[in-house]
């Protein structure tokens, strides 16, 4: 893939894992469209990156907004949209039964709507656009990378809504790759463990150190740049297709 002739769409690209990925793709020469609900941060990042970077306000649950972000990416480079990375998501914490009452449905619906349906919304629009690309020398038209979580495999107490949504993302990966194989489009998923993100930054330092101590090696929180590095490997290694790769330092989450 010729990065300097290609565009990348990074959804949830204004902060955290998405920001690191947007920076790395831009560094490699791709034209990057940062799609996010956080307009101030997204705009600031695009301005910092400068040429070949733009921000598009996007809510992953809004069909038209995602379609517009995809269209902006398709127009951003001569060879069109070739890379799509979906990092947008929300944490939801609730127990099935708590204080004598069943869990509310609204938070569960929100988790599924954003984390699972939002991922599919980006995947379907990005893949549809990529299918119109001319194949490169290897017969490829594009790569889509989605983001799950190790909570898809070892959800902790209180993570039922989040785990269900992320397990759905894992479950979509192989059939999506099979669906899109005839179009020369690959689909892979990264399942990160505990990473230095804005969500974890809000925790007290003691809690952050406790999380890091649970990781066998390296015994620290993951860095967003390490997520971006794996995303780049997924883009460049053509045999990576239909794969879900854990990025967690051998962490296996305990019940709580």
- Rounded-to-integer distance, Cα 7 and Cα 25, Å: 9
Closest CA to 123 of 39, 77, 189: 189
Residues 2-5: contacts with CB under 8 Å, at least 24 apart? 2/79, 2/136, 3/28, 3/29, 3/30, 4/29, 4/30, 5/77, 5/78, 5/79
Q: Kindly write down the DSSP assignment for every residue of 123-179, as one continuous string.
A: HHHHHHHHTTSPP-TTS--EEEEEE--GGGTSPPTTBHHHHHHHHHHHHHHHHHHHH
Length of the chain: 256
What secondary structure, in 3-state letters, does 37-78 show?
CCHHHHHHHHHHHCCCEEEEECCCCCHHHHHHHHHHHHCCCC
- Rounded-to-integer distance, Cα 219 and Cα 176, Å: 34
191 close to 152: Cβ distance less than 8 angstroms: yes
Among the listed residues 162, 164, 173, 241, the single catalytic one is 162
| Residue 220 a catalytic site member | no
Q: Collapsing DSSP states into helix, strand and coil, what is residue 103?
A: coil
Cβ neighbours, 10 Å, residue 201: 11
Angle at which helix 16-27 crosses helix 39-49, to 10 degrees, equals 20
Q: Which residues belong to the active site?
A: 162
């Amino acid at each position: 893939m010729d990065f300097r002739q290609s565009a990348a769409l990074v959804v949830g690209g204004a902060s955290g894992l998405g920001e690191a990925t947007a920076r790395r793709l831009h560094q490699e020469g791709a034209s990057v469209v940062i799609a996010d609900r956080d307009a101030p941060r997204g705009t600031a990042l695009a301005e910092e990156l400068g040429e070949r970077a733009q921000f598009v306000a996007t809510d992953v649950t809004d069909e038209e907004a995602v379609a517009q972000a995809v269209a902006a990416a398709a127009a951003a480079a001569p060879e069109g949209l070739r890379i799509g990375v979906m990092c947008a998501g929300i944490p939801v914490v609730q127990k099935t039964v708590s204080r004598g009452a069943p869990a509310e449905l609204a938070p569960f619906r929100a988790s599924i709507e954003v984390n699972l349906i939002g991922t599919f919304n980006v995947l379907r629009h990005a893949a549809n656009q990529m299918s119109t690309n001319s194949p490169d020398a290897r017969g490829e038209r594009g790569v889509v990378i989605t983001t799950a979580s190790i909570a898809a495999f070892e959800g902790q107490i209180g993570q039922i809504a989040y785990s269900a949504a992320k397990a759905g993302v894992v479950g979509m990966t192989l059939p999506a790759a099979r669906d899109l194989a005839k179009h020369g489009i690959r689909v892979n998923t990264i399942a990160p463990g505990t990473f230095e993100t804005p969500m974890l930054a809000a925790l007290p330092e003691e809690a952050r150190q406790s999380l890091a101590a649970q990781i066998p090696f390296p015994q620290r929180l993951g860095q967003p740049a390490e997520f971006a590095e794996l995303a780049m490997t997924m883009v460049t290694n053509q045999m990576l297709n239909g794969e879900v790769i854990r990025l967690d330092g051998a962490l296996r989450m305990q019940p709580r």
